[in-house]
């Protein structure tokens, strides 16, 4: 084998037969640098192919160190075995058939591993597709919920605007009502100021209006007034019962806020009432 005439086919045959870098250099009678340059020139169209060839030769270096034998070299395409140098406790050179069996066993193991990985990948892919389908279904549901939510938000805003308008109307009506109530109270007071209520007082203590209109008389403070009337000379001739009636009558008229004409079926009680009313008016 000459370096100048070395071909890519011879290289592959040598690598297949276990030649390492040292063996190639010895057969070609060249240095390692010259041999490396030759490989690069043979594969000048592909730097990667040249690097692959050098890696395969480097692997043979490791195999030679492990097996402790010198690889055979042929000067033609026919494999010419070289007798291994004797070495202490040297392992026998594996037969090409045994090496092929080992490679086939390795290939079978690696093929099984690849099949297992492919099976696992297929199972994961199935699970992945199921997950994607589930995610899409969830996304559809989310979009549906989002659409429903947006519709409800629009409806909420619509109702809120309508209700705000109603509240403004209610406030306006309340304000108008307050004015109307105030006017009504003023009118009622004017009516009371311009009318005379005829009050009838009976000996049994009943106090009512002559026309029997529904008026609730406010007699609060009559007990305190009763105590004061007991000490007045105008009530000296009245019975205790009559003084109590008189106190109630005077407070009822006082709280009435209207003109009142009192008529008693007891003339004496009526006369005392008029005296006390005049005294009160005079003092006021």
Please tell me the predicted confidence (pLDDT) of residue 58. 84
The per-residue pLDDT for 276 is: 86
pLDDT tens, per residue, the chain with 284 residues? 677 788 888 888 888 888 888 888 888 888 888 888 888 887 776 777 878 888 888 888 777 666 654 444 444 443 444 444 544 555 555 556 678 888 888 988 998 999 999 999 999 999 999 999 999 999 999 999 998 999 999 999 999 999 999 999 999 999 999 999 999 988 887 877 777 788 888 888 888 887 766 678 888 888 898 898 888 888 888 889 988 988 988 888 888 777 888 889 888 888 888 888 887 765 55
Distance from C-alpha of 198 to C-alpha of 258, rounded to nearest angstrom: 11
Domain residue limits, the chain: 8-88, 94-191, 195-283
Measured distance CA(91)–CA(164) in Å, rounded = 101
Q: What DSSP assignment string belongs to 42-65?
A: HTTT-HHHHHHHHHHHHHHHHHHH
DSSP readout, the chain? --TTT--HHHHHHHHHTT--HHHHHHHHT--HHHHHHHHHHHTTT-HHHHHHHHHHHHHHHHHHHHHT-PPP--SSSS----PPPP-TTPPPPPPHHHHHHHHHHHHHHHHHHHHHHHHHHHHHHHHHHHHHHHHHHHHHHHHHHHHHHHHHHHHHHHHHHHHHHHHHHHHHHHHHHHHHHHHHHHHHHHHHHT-EEEEEE-TTS-EEETT--------TTHHHHHHHHTT-GGGTTS-HHHHHHHHHHHHHHHHH-SEEEEEESSHHHHHHHHHHHHHHHHH-
Report the pLDDT value the prediction gives residue 212, as an integer from 0 to 100.
62
The CA distances from residue 281 to 15, 127, 223, 229, 254, in Å, are 145, 105, 21, 16, 11
Which pTM value belongs to this model?
Answer: 0.34
Q: What is the structure's pLDDT at 282?
A: 59
Cα(161)–Cα(180) distance, rounded to whole angstroms?
29
Predicted pLDDT at 162: 93
Q: What is the pLDDT of residue 116?
A: 92
CA distance 253 to 85: 150
């Amino acid at each position: 084998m000459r370096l100048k005439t070395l071909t890519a086919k011879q290289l592959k045959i040598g690598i297949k037969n276990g030649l390492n870098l040292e063996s190639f250099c010895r057969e070609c009678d060249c240095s390692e640098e010259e041999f490396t340059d030759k490989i690069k020139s043979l594969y000048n169209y592909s730097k990667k192919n040249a690097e692959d060839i050098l890696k395969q030769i480097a692997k043979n270096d490791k195999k030679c160190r492990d097996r402790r034998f010198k690889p055979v070299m042929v000067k033609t395409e026919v494999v010419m075995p070289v007798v291994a140098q004797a070495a202490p406790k040297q392992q026998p050179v594996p037969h090409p058939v045994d090496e092929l069996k080992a490679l086939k066993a390795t290939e079978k193991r690696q093929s099984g591993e690849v099949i297992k990985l492919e099976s696992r990948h297929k199972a994961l892919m199935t699970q992945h597709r199921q997950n994607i389908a589930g995610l899409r279904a969830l996304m559809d549901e989310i979009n549906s919920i989002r659409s429903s939510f947006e519709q409800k938000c629009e409806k909420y805003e619509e109702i809120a605007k309508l209700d705000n308008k109603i509240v403004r109307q209610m406030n306006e009506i309340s304000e108008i009502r307050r004015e109307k109530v105030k006017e009504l109270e003023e009118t009622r007071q004017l009516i009371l100021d311009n009318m005379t209520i005829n009050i009838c007082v009976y000996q049994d203590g009943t106090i009512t209006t002559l026309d029997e209109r529904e008026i609730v008389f406010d007699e609060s403070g009559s007990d305190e007034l009763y105590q004061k009337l007991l000490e007045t000379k105008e009530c000296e001739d009245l019975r205790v019962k009559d003084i109590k009636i008189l106190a109630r009558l005077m407070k009822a008229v006082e709280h009435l806020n209207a003109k009142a004409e009192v008529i008693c079926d007891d003339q004496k009680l009526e006369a005392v009432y008029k005296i006390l009313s005049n005294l009160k008016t005079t003092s006021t």
